[in-house]
Amino acid sequence: MDKVRLGVIGCGNMCKHHLTPLCENREVISEELHPYAERVEVHALADVSQEKADAFKDQYGGEYATTDPEKVFADKNVDCVIIATWHDTHAPLSLAALDAGKHVLIEKPMCMTEQECDDILAAVERTGLKYMPAFRCRFAKGARDLKREIPNPENTIAFARTGGIWPETIWAQDPIKGGGQILSQGCHIVDLMFYIAGSEPESVYATGGVFHHDSPEVIDTINASVRYTNGSVGAFLGGDGGTGNLMLHHPLACKCPFFVIATEKGKSGLAIDHGHDGRFEKGSAKDWTPPYEEKVYCEEMGADAAGGVPDILPHFARAIIEDETPIATEKDGARATRFILKCFESARTGNVIKF
């Protein structure tokens, strides 16, 4: 395959972050992915708003702009689609695209329910197409260092509490369209937690509830204790309620106070924000030299390159062209959604939930 011809579904905020580096400033893309960035060609653009689809076509090129994603799925000149729409449409659009024979890059969360997880896993298996949730933290520079330096942690802890409280009026806070901050945004850090732990969840016990919002349906606070199948343990603290900003600047030199911390036999490491920056500390480990004590990649290379979002689309293009497994798959997408749903179930019932 010479070119990967791309269909864009959802011409909003996040898609700009994927397409701008590809079409306008390739220098923020990692060097080794440049040959694949060059081979992605925007072919078709769809949004429920014709105006937004047209604006994207003006900015990023393409043959046509439409309000009908089905037209893009039916187009034999499209190899692959990126879906960056509201969360309740992720599963139906994914299934339609896969059934039409398109490789799919899906924004997070992959889907919102257990049934949707099952349906997507089955569709990927049935079609044999490439499917990747855009879990950006896996591409971030500090997170990559943490994965390399602490490959078998015995304790992996994730923090994803925001500064401020998400407004009731944004679509991501809507119980149907979005599912709230923990599913919408916490899923990044949940995915990074499992990626760093290198293991599946075995059980979770969570306390939590709705403390900052009007709607009783969307849990906004989760404090979860996690057991992984490889015998290691950890924790996830997620939600919105204003506590996150207490972590800003000191001790964390970052704009977003999220982190994942991991320890392994006298070594410990921290990936900060969505994995952008990193810190390491040597304890009793004998044969290990930390790569650095603190690295603020955001300052060295800028937040875009440090965060890794520009690498996502070229990485997926490489997976298609070279027939490789992408760094995140439908199994990772299903794990993150299921884990968060089980945290909610545990908080509601008071039970330890097994996977």
Show the tokens assigned to 48. 């429920």
Return the residues of window 52-71 that contact ligand NAD according to CB under 6 A: 52, 69
Task: Say whether residue 94 binds ligand NAD (CB under 6 A).
Answer: no
Give the chain's length: 355
Near ligand NAD by CB under 6 A: residue from 22, 46, 270, 313: 46
Of the pair 117, 150, the CB lying nearest ligand NAD is at 117
SS3 call for 331: helix
Q: How many residues bind ligand NAD (CB under 6 A)?
A: 22
- The single residue among 79, 81, 82, 89 that binds ligand NAD, judged by CB under 6 A, is 89
Q: Measured from the CB atom, is 179 or 234 closer to ligand NAD?
A: 179
Question: What gap in Å lies between CA 78 and CA 39, rounded to an integer?
Answer: 13
Stretch touching ligand NAD by CB under 6 A, among 20-28, 82-90, 115-123, 139-147: 82-90
Contacts of 355 (CB under 8 A, 6+ apart): 200, 201, 202, 203, 204, 338, 342
Q: In angstroms, give the least distance from the CB of 187 to ligand NAD.
A: 8
181 near ligand NAD (CB under 6 A): no
The three-state secondary structure class of 289 is coil
Q: What is the amino acid identity at position 111? A: C
CB 132, min distance to ligand NAD, A: 13
- Name residue 157's beta-bridge partners: 235, 261
Which of 6, 9, 33, 196 touches ligand NAD by CB under 6 A? Answer: 9
Q: Does 47 bind ligand NAD (CB under 6 A)?
A: yes
The H or E element spanning position 317 is helix 309-321
Choose between 86 and 259: whose C-beta lies nearer to ligand NAD: 86
CA 258-196-108 angle, 5° bins: 60
Smallest Cα–Cα separation from 190: which of 150, 247, 142, 228? 228
Cβ count near 19 (within 10 Å): 24
Q: How far is the CB of 137 from ligand NAD (least distance, A)?
A: 9
**Segment 98 to 157, residues that bind ligand NAD, using CB under 6 A:** 107-108, 134, 136
The tokens of 340 are what?
Answer: 């968060």
- Choosing from 84, 143, 206, 328, the residue that interacts with ligand NAD (CB under 6 A) is 84
- Applying CB under 6 A, which residues contact ligand NAD? 9-14, 46-49, 52, 69, 84-87, 89, 107-108, 134, 136, 184
